[in-house]
Structure 1
């Protein structure tokens, strides 16, 4: 299943879902509950859930193809803030081939896959909720509320 995280709802993500032509269910999480429940902070991010409903891996970058942004030449004519944002985004590295190989290994071998993690390992790897993380989450929640109530 694919879940789009977008406060804008179905209309905001419809073109991306239609363009991908998925053969599996696609849902929209307008309130970003998965961010809270699974600790997502960027997209695409994955959560692997087995047939028993058990989380076996979470938080990996889930790019399945190389980013076009990485090769994009940034025009000097771009506004400075946008140019700096894109420059930073270009630094994000993905490993689509490695991710797909791991996903396929898990799909074939299930819990015997070396990529599936035991619950205690998932907890050990979980990111601590720092005060800065909590403040950012509170700001995001407030921003969503203001947007939904017509003040954004």
Structure 2
């Protein structure tokens, strides 16, 4: 595993535009990881202690549905952030995730980042803002998918 620098993080779409000092602090919590296809990355309801920025590969986000089993609710590829439950109490995964193909990512230690945020509220605000925007974007995308499945557009 190679070390991650602030310059590396500055190139990540999710972190673009962050202050150099914040990127340097985040880099101390980050490491490059490779996740083989088929590996479970997140298990729903388990403790949430990290998040990832996907550089290569695809990840399926899923949810356990009574009487239907595990249902894929979304997929993410390069440039996506995976996992926000580490930031919000009760710090348990609300979804599951599996690598659909080999994934290269930057993995962050969420517990350490929570500590950094407690010491530096400006960093905490910036990360909370970014993750909240991510949650809102994904909720809107899910809403559109639900509407499309309930009212399919006729094909010409």
TM-score by length of 2: 0.27
Q: Relative to total residues, which structure has the larger helix share, 1 or 2?
A: 1
Larger proportion of strand: 2
Larger C-alpha radius of gyration, 1 or 2?
Answer: 1
